């Protein structure tokens, strides 16, 4: 392992990014959901940067002359998240009883989970031999024409977690369905389930009475990272050593490629891709993913994804990156602080977290469309819901923390509020 001689701005950006992420954990505490999202972005964004600094191979296609600017852009994104997290704090306690007090039953949810589980099992049984060997493209072809549609619906269905687990039977069905989903993803070398599990891990931590220890939080995340590395090994036949662990994701490739083109070859787009993401909801618009393939490897059937940092730079340069990530961080925080106010806020918070992790190496169009699809699904779930006498609704009242500290028993009795856990 040979260390490169000139760290320069690359090393400074790496140190600043690590410091920003650590500061978020210190300021926000071990329950701070935004801090763990920053840690996720640090690993997937700066992993290849570490390999670059120590002279190990990096993700194919990375423009080495632009690594410094790309690292600076990712550092600005994390610093923006740090500022938002410090100014807009996450609530200290979340009441899981509120999610069980809607007084509604959702019969469409178990039917959806059963249907998705059945589809996964049928594909695994009928295409088992083809799914156990071959390249990623061979596995996807063996899975059938509805592969990517199935993965999208799974992301949305898994976000219904807090509705599904309200009863013991629903909880068992949800996790049985999750097992089928994970088996399907492993067979097709897809990593989507990792984003789902990480989002669920972060949200369930919010409702625990006691803050989990650091090992209980870190070890599952490390396990998911190693699983992602293994799936890349299945896709590309690459190794599974530390170099490959750090080379997860294609963010550095996308960012350096875009920065090499803009503004030297093409001008900044000044928000056109974000406008296209909105208009693309009602009309077919070209995607940044397809543009990247055409620009980097015309005629190739490969998919490289894209990058939220790369898209921000493509539109507004380095100055646009902290603005975009500050808006994303604020939205995430706003949703997190309301996730115990009802089933709908909980669903949106879980789904937004999944989309943010998934979209980190994607684009705004996919991010927005997935969120809109999720709202449509939840609308169907809500419209088909029925009154459930076993779970009577009750009126919830906001209780001032100062009043609770002064005389919590009296205040809770007068307002009919159960103990906050």
List pLDDT tens digits, range 362-376: 999 999 999 999 999
Per-residue model confidence (pLDDT) at position 167: 82
Residue 311: exposure state from Cβ atoms within 10 A (0-12, 13-18, ≥19): buried
The residues pairing with 386 across neighbouring beta strands, listed in sequence order, are 105
User: Which parts of the chain sit beneath pLDDT 50?
Assistant: 1-5, 394-404, 410-421
Q: Give the whole-angstrom CA distance, residue 313 versus residue 267.
A: 11
Q: What is the pLDDT, as a whole number, of residue 389?
A: 65
pLDDT value of position 410 = 43
In whole angstroms, give the CA distance from residue 52 to residue 48. Answer: 6
Rg of the chain taking only CA atoms, in angstroms: 22
Run of H or E including 100: none
C-alpha to C-alpha distance for 381 and 139, rounded to whole angstroms: 32
pLDDT of amino acid 268:
95
pLDDT at residue 397 in the model: 46
- The angle formed by the CA atoms of residues 24, 27 and 29, to the nearest 5 degrees, is 90
Can you point out the beta strands (E) in 272-317? none
**Residue-level pLDDT at 99:** 77
Distance, CA of 44 to CA of 247 (rounded, Å): 8
Q: What is the pLDDT of residue 147?
A: 95
Quote the pLDDT of residue 3: 43
pTM for the model stands at 0.87
């Amino acid at each position: 392992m040979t260390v490169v001689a000139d760290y320069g701005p690359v090393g400074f950006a790496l140190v600043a990014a690590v410091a920003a992420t650590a500061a978020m954990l210190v300021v926000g505490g071990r329950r701070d959901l935004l801090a763990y999202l920053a840690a996720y972005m640090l690993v997937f964004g700066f992993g290849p940067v570490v390999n670059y600094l120590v002279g190990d191979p990096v993700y194919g296609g990375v423009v080495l002359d632009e690594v410094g600017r790309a690292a600076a852009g990712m550092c600005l994104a994390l610093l923006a998240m740090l500022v938002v997290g410090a100014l807009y704090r996450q609530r200290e306690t979340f009441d899981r009883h509120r999610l069980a007090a809607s007084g509604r039953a959702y019969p469409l949810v178990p039917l959806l989970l059963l249907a998705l589980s059945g589809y996964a099992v049928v594909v695994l049984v009928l295409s088992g031999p083809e799914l156990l060997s071959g390249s990623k493209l061979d596995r996807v072809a063996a899975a059938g024409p509805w592969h990517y549609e199935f993965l999208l619906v799974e992301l949305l269905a898994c976000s219904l977690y807090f509705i599904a687990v309200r009863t013991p039977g629903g909880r068992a069905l949800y996790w049985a369905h999750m097992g089928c989903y994970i088996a399907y993803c492993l067979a097709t070398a897809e990593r989507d389930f990792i984003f789902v599990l990480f989002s669920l891990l972060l949200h369930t931590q919010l409702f625990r009475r006691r803050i989990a220890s650091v090992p209980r939080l870190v070890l599952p995340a490390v396990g998911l990272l190693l699983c992602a590395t293994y799936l890349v090994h299945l896709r590309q036949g690459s190794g599974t050593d530390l170099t490959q662990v750090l080379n997860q994701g294609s963010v550095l490739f996308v960012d350096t490629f875009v920065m090499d083109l803009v503004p030297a070859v093409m001008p900044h787009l000044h928000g056109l891709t974000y406008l296209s993401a909105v208009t693309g909801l009602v009309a077919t618009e070209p995607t940044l993913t397809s543009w990247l393939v055409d620009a980097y490897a015309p005629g190739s059937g490969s998919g490289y994804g894209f990058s939220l940092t790369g898209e921000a730079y493509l539109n507004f340069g380095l100055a646009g990156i902290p603005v975009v990530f500050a808006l994303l961080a604020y939205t995430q925080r706003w949703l997190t602080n309301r996730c115990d106010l009802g089933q709908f806020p909980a669903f949106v918070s879980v789904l937004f977290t999944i989309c943010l992790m998934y979209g980190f190496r994607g684009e705004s169009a996919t991010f927005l469309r997935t969120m809109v699809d999720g709202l449509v699904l939840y609308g169907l779930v809500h419209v088909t819901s029925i009154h459930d006498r076993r779970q009577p609704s009750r009126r919830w009242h906001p209780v001032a923390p100062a009043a609770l500290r002064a005389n919590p028993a009296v205040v809770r009795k007068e307002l009919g509020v159960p103990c906050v856990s």
